[in-house]
Amino acid sequence: MKISRFFYAALLETSISSQTHAFDLSDTLAIEGTATGVVQHAELNNVFDENGNEISDTARGTAVIDIGIHFHPTDHDEFQLVYSFAEGTAINGLEAFTLASFADDLEEDLSDINSSGRYNLLEAWYKHRFDFNAQSSLGVTVGIISSSGFIDDNNYANDETSQFMNDIFVNNTLANLPDYDTGAALEFETGSWALKAVAMNSENDDDNEYYYYAIQIGRLITTSLGEGNYRVYAFTTNDEFADTGGTDKDKLTGFGISIDQQLSESVGMFARLGNQDADVPVDHDKMISIGISIAGSAWKRPEDTIGFGAAFLDGTSNADIKDTTAAEAYYRFVYSDYFDLTLDVQWINDHLENAENAEGLLAGLRFNAHF
């Protein structure tokens, strides 16, 4: 790879990010939003365009605006609408790897969402919370929801606009978490324990409809190191889950573990483990990811964050992939409460059965502005 050109291009790229701030229209109604810009430059090996021409390096970008409308008529009731608008697909548009280098919903994801005929509207749901005592409550959510908002959560690796960008560090991709479909979710909390369950009616891009069910149990543990969250979940579908080509259908089952643990006041670690069992062709059937998050307190910038992550996925013979490896590092510079800038570097390698490895070294900048 042309390393000198790679880092020179990285210095020229910019990305803007900011934390979300709500604009209160009344005591019960608020609007919040985030504008995100990302530019990525990639040095590539064995990656081809739709005409079969090899792409050795490229630079691409995207711009995304997310708007959330929140209505809280009572302390126990909540309505939410989430809209997203995007232009461009960054490096995702190449479809070069089995993992997306930017996990956000981009231009092509917001058109005819999940073959529903819906555009730009991601979520529309109602939630009611039942309080049993000071430590126990049950939340019930119904509507157009995202299962990733309930299952496989993680404090250090779960947000593509403020943490890692690659989708393997945002969620366990083997969990096949459906988003922006009709469903219901339960959240029961008592003391340091939390139980979550999701049921959704989903549809993939090939118009194959299926049902998805997941349940997660988690516990908050406090030690001399700090707080740690330990979660175990399992999921299944009915026998209508289809492979990416839409030709084979069967049941998909699997489980996962998601851990985040403080190591000190400014350092934390995360780990994920996943497994899925399917008779339909899927890219991977086992995965593990690990990483650390470091707050900038040591250099007197406590709001800044450095993150490092590595992931390893076992491929399947059905998909002609032996394994996939990914690594990512980022530095998030918080300029103010409204703006932040992230420099991000990724390496992705798909080890293929019958072809040369698809490999990429990517540098990107992410800029968010929150309003």
Mind listing the pLDDT tens digit of every residue in the chain (371 residues)?
A: 443 343 333 333 333 343 445 667 788 999 999 999 999 999 999 888 777 888 999 999 999 999 999 999 999 999 999 999 999 999 998 988 999 999 999 998 999 898 888 999 999 999 999 999 999 999 999 999 999 999 999 999 999 999 999 999 999 999 999 999 999 999 999 999 999 999 999 986 666 789 999 999 999 999 999 999 999 999 999 888 876 555 667 888 999 999 999 999 999 999 999 999 866 678 899 999 999 999 999 899 999 999 999 999 998 877 788 999 999 999 999 999 899 999 999 999 999 887 788 999 999 999 999 98
For residue 272, give the nearest of 350, 127, 179, 173 by alpha carbon: 173
DSSP secondary structure letter of residue 248: -
Answer for the pair 174, 274: CB distance below 8 angstroms, yes or no.
yes
Predicted pLDDT of residue 251: 85
Predicted pLDDT of residue 246: 55
Give dist(CA 365, CA 227) in Å, integer.
31
Q: Where exactly are the structural domains of the chain?
A: 3-370
For residue 74, give the nearest of 126, 149, 10, 9 by alpha carbon: 126
Predicted pLDDT of residue 36: 97
Predicted pLDDT of residue 239: 84
CATH number of 3-370: 2.40.160.10
Side chain identity at 325, as an amino acid letter? T
Answer for the pair 201, 181: CB distance below 8 angstroms, yes or no.
yes
Give dist(CA 68, CA 81) in Å, integer.
6
Give dist(CA 229, CA 85) in Å, integer.
33
Answer for the pair 102, 39: CB distance below 8 angstroms, yes or no.
no
Give dist(CA 146, CA 80) in Å, integer.
12
For residue 151, give the nearest of 94, 93, 217, 248 by alpha carbon: 217
For residue 252 the two structure tokens come to 């998909």
Predicted pLDDT of residue 10: 37
Answer for the pair 23, 31: CB distance below 8 angstroms, yes or no.
yes
Q: Which residues contact 212 (CB under 8 A, 6 or more apart)?
A: 147, 176, 178, 183, 198, 199, 200, 201, 202, 235, 236, 237
Predicted pLDDT of residue 276: 92
Predicted pLDDT of residue 205: 60
